[in-house]
């Protein structure tokens, strides 16, 4: 997750340790936004969520809860149309910014 939080290489221990990202490093979404890109984040994993601070810097960040991804009311797998959800996010910004930064995490 260091690369999402800081845009740095996770193998560079001098810059980032495995648990903490120094305040001096901006999340990659903030850097993209500062360069004029609309920033979109989409996650279907319980580990890439706003609860962990990973939505920071995104103009739009959508989470699909794990229970929505795995189960329906009758116990069968509920389909999630990830492509349609992401397409709707892209449509939100396409008129104002044709080159958005899009981060997706789908499992």
Is residue 14 assigned to a domain?
Answer: no
How many Å is the maximal CA-CA distance in the chain?
50
Verdict on whether the full-model pTM lies above 0.75: no
Distances (CA, A) of 67 to 46, 53, 54, 77, 79: 10, 20, 20, 10, 11
Q: What pLDDT digit, counting tens, does each position of 32-42 carry?
A: 999 989 999 99
Is residue 94 assigned to a domain?
Answer: yes
Q: Which of 80, 78, 43 is nearest to 63 (CA)?
A: 43
Confidence grade of residue 86 (pLDDT, cut at 50, 70, 90):
very high
Is residue 9 assigned to a domain?
Answer: no
Is residue 81 assigned to a domain?
Answer: yes
Asked if residue 93 lies in contact with residue 32, where contact means CB atoms within 8 angstroms, the answer is: no
Q: What pLDDT digit, counting tens, does each position of 37-62 carry?
A: 999 999 988 888 888 888 888 999 99
Average pLDDT of the chain, as a whole number: 76
Q: What pLDDT digit, counting tens, does each position of 62-77 carry?
A: 998 755 445 556 666 6
Is residue 79 assigned to a domain?
Answer: yes
Is residue 64 assigned to a domain?
Answer: yes
Beta bridge partners of 9: none
- 96 vs 17, residue with greater confidence: 96
State the pLDDT at residue 49: 85
Residues whose CB is less than 8 angstroms from the CB of residue 89 and which lie 6 or more positions away in sequence, other chains included: 40, 42, 60, 62, 102
Q: Which domain holds residue 75?
A: 28-105
- 105 vs 67, residue with greater confidence: 105
Q: Is the pLDDT of residue 8 over 80?
A: no
């Amino acid at each position: 997750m260091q690369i999402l939080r800081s845009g740095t290489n996770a193998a560079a221990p001098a810059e980032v340790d495995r648990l903490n990202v120094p305040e001096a490093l901006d999340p990659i979404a903030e850097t993209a936004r500062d360069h004029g890109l609309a920033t979109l984040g989409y996650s279907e994993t319980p580990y890439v969520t706003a609860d962990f601070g990973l939505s920071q810097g995104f103009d739009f960040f959508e989470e699909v809860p794990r229970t929505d991804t795995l189960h329906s009311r009758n116990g069968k797998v509920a389909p999630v149309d990830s492509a349609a959800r992401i397409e709707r996010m892209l449509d939100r910004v396409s008129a104002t910014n044709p080159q958005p930064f899009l981060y997706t995490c789908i499992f």
